[in-house]
Structure 1
């Protein structure tokens, strides 16, 4: 039996980590379709070897990438924000994953497909989905997240419900490849589920209370993006609570490390954050959706 742990500060958790409460905007010079602008950004990804930040600029139907020197380019889709079904277009991309060679994989939400774009390519290739909405093995119904293991296998799931063995609006994934454990953010059931791959039985509800949204330390409210650090701490974009929650190992109560829990656009506030990522120094990056910006919260400890 695992004993519940209680942590009140992030520095008490494995790794002893702390972050600045004030974020710095690194992409998002106002809402728009300019190179340094965003329109409802969703998924973000940092490739740790290159330290390139990728952003699914959802309402601009493009993927933006930011190099360490601050240069921002369009990596996929049309730079002017035009959407479509053609191979050189995207429609509301929800998530992005990249390799060290700057090849990217995209959850092309509105086109019901997963697209692969090689570095500097003008066109993408469909590697999953057939462009039609459905429940068949070769179809998607608005894919909202994409995650690959080291062998580039796509990871996902099916089902809907509030029971531990069901999924309900899965919007975030994190795969612990070493331990063969998949963490799934169930947006509609307000919880994070932990699964052991190869098993049809869940390991447990890792965070949140299924079917009981709220803003207490033990609750979530339409959670989306999730990630985990090397110390085993889980991080959740608690979207409708406008905060980022940290769940340390064996803890059922989260710690707020970014955002105040109140909607806002100041440097300490967030507005429906959709995703989170870390760079190699464990600085925290947040897709601050309705503020159309990417915020960086510097690690201080």
Structure 2
């Protein structure tokens, strides 16, 4: 380890994703950097799970003391190297704690990076609409115009495959799709897809590419209980016995049994009273989410109504929870064509604000939005969107957005803005895809300390890194994070993700 560094594992936490409800383990390592006599070299810090080993070496007169303490079965390997006369002490401590995943609205160091990474671009996809992520972090993406298919992108893969529909072939047969919109995959791997122009919901069982119509009449729109009219997004209840559908042109939310067949009647559970901006009506409902862990209510985006409603299924009216009904705007309290919506276990909402080209977070019981991705201006850079539609989170709380106008899928990694492990507020595992060394170069001044993923962090003269989730052994060099020191004048902290 370069002259003047100290490394310590400050905490090891078990974390839970408040949306996906999965558990991962995070180890936090701090490395103290001296601002004098720092050679231009590469220091590598690694964490494993079987052995604790500490090595110290010098090239000139030096005194080195190493203490290693382990209180769990986790492992740490630390290498210390000096190039001049100095005294170095390295202490390694491993502990185990259990921490509930932090609330992004109350934990001050919880942020998403400002720049996104394109994981699918226009060479593979066209007009991407909705996105769903299952418990294995597999992505399912609807592509409505040229491709008219559903794509599947496996975890860490770079190429998506078609799993429903026929690419560049629009139709109404059981193997074709016509403007696929919403997508949802249940715990058995059964996939549900809504079709805007076929006015139906298709069900795909056990990886089959042959759809079964469970709601609506094929290619026949209408307002009867057995019909749909331009359905948008969909969601399932926790029992997976019922599917809820944003029946857009009918301004209502419909519920059908997941074992239903074409022609069966559904039930109106919200709206259905014509177009309007009152608490008894909906105005082009689009996004739809049901978070049963904290609420039995539906959360609905009104695309033309520029608002979000909370509605108990079957109730005669709902409640406006953000946005001004019927009024479009770009302030923190207004929306302009909201589409996709997700909630976490704290009832915080994440909304794709389509015409404002941004992703808004609304803390529970708060009508004021916080922009967590996008700038509010249309663009095609790493920090901008062009009409985002769908939003989803993986088990690490990285955010994925279907960037409709740019014909791409963007990934925005979750990060931290400050560190206080003793308070248990640093509970997010790192983004393994970022662990390739090249995008961890530390720049030469405090103002330029920046990762290529685009987030600045300061923390009292420390470099900070965190280990990869041990289950991600197929990622870049299991549990290894490389830090390249490119300049000696380092007086800041970077949270590497």
TM surpasses 0.5? yes
Closer/same/farther in 2, CA of residues 176 and 92 from structure 1, 3 Å limit: same
Which has the higher mean CA deviation after the structures are superposed, 14-23 or 216-225? 14-23
Tell me, in whole angstroms, the C-alpha distance in 2 between the residues paired with 1:102 and 1:67: 14
Aligned to 1:26: 119
Aligned to 1:13: 105
1:105-120 alignment, distance < 5 Å: 105-120=192-207
Tell me, in whole angstroms, the C-alpha distance in 2 between the residues paired with 1:43 and 1:15: 29
For residue 405 of structure 2, give the secondary structure of its aligned residue in structure 1. Answer: helix
Which ranges of structure 1 fall in alignment gaps of 5 or more residues?
Answer: 1-9, 32-36
Are the counterparts in 2 of residues 240 and 272 from structure 1 also a CA contact under 8 Å? yes
Matched, 1:54 2:140: yes
Q: How many residues are paired up?
A: 283
- The counterpart of 2:351, out of the listed 207, 219, 236, is 236
1:152-231 alignment, distance < 5 Å: 152=240, 153-156=242-245, 157=253, 158=272, 159-178=274-293, 179-202=295-318, 204-231=319-346
1:249-288 alignment, distance < 5 Å: 249-288=364-403
Could you say which structure has the greater relative contact order, defined with CA pairs below 8 angstroms and 6 or more residues apart? 1
Matched, 1:69 2:185: no
Tell me, in whole angstroms, the C-alpha distance in 2 between the residues paired with 1:103 and 1:83: 23
Which ranges of structure 2 fall in alignment gaps of 5 or more residues?
Answer: 1-101, 246-252, 254-271, 417-497
Shift of 1:124: 0.6
CA deviations on 1:71-113 (whole Å, 9 max, x unpaired) are 52111001x3211011100001011001234321000111010
Shift of 1:154: 1.3
Tell me, in whole angstroms, the C-alpha distance in 2 between the residues paired with 1:249 and 1:270: 25
CA deviations on 1:221-271 (whole Å, 9 max, x unpaired) are 011010011222101100000000000012111000000000000000000
Tell me, in whole angstroms, the C-alpha distance in 2 between the residues paired with 1:41 and 1:22: 20
Tell me, in whole angstroms, the C-alpha distance in 2 between the residues paired with 1:12 and 1:291: 28
Shift of 1:144: 0.8
Matched, 1:135 2:189: no
Tell me, in whole angstroms, the C-alpha distance in 1 between the residues paired with 2:292 and 2:344: 13
Are the counterparts in 2 of residues 234 and 248 from structure 1 also a CA contact under 8 Å? yes
For residue 172 of structure 1, give the secondary structure of its aligned residue in structure 2. Answer: strand
Tell me, in whole angstroms, the C-alpha distance in 2 between the residues paired with 1:139 and 1:15: 45
For residue 290 of structure 1, give the secondary structure of its aligned residue in structure 2. Answer: helix
Tell me, in whole angstroms, the C-alpha distance in 1 between the residues paired with 2:156 and 2:345: 26
For residue 243 of structure 2, give the secondary structure of its aligned residue in structure 1. Answer: coil
Shift of 1:11: 8.2
Tell me, in whole angstroms, the C-alpha distance in 1 between the residues paired with 2:345 and 2:118: 25
Tell me, in whole angstroms, the C-alpha distance in 1 between the residues paired with 2:192 and 2:165: 12
TM-score (norm 2): 0.55
Aligned to 2:234: 146
Which has the higher mean CA deviation after the structures are superposed, 80-89 or 13-22? 13-22
Tell me, in whole angstroms, the C-alpha distance in 2 between the residues paired with 1:57 and 1:201: 33
Q: CA RMSD in A?
A: 1.6
Larger Rg: 2
Are the counterparts in 1 of residues 103 and 346 from structure 2 also a CA contact under 8 Å? no
Matched, 1:291 2:380: no
For residue 146 of structure 1, give the secondary structure of its aligned residue in structure 2. Answer: strand
For residue 139 of structure 1, give the secondary structure of its aligned residue in structure 2. Answer: coil
Are the counterparts in 2 of residues 14 and 231 from structure 1 also a CA contact under 8 Å? no
Q: Which runs of 4+ in 1 moved over 4 A?
A: none
Closer/same/farther in 2, CA of residues 90 and 62 from structure 1, 3 Å limit: same
Are the counterparts in 2 of residues 15 and 231 from structure 1 also a CA contact under 8 Å? no
CA deviations on 1:41-66 (whole Å, 9 max, x unpaired) are 0011111x221110011111100011
Closer/same/farther in 2, CA of residues 180 and 97 from structure 1, 3 Å limit: same
Closer/same/farther in 2, CA of residues 133 and 15 from structure 1, 3 Å limit: farther
Tell me, in whole angstroms, the C-alpha distance in 2 between the residues paired with 1:295 and 1:40: 13
Shift of 1:198: 3.5
Closer/same/farther in 2, CA of residues 11 and 22 from structure 1, 3 Å limit: farther
Give the structure with the higher percent strand.
Answer: 2
1:121-132 alignment, distance < 5 Å: 121-131=208-218, 132=220
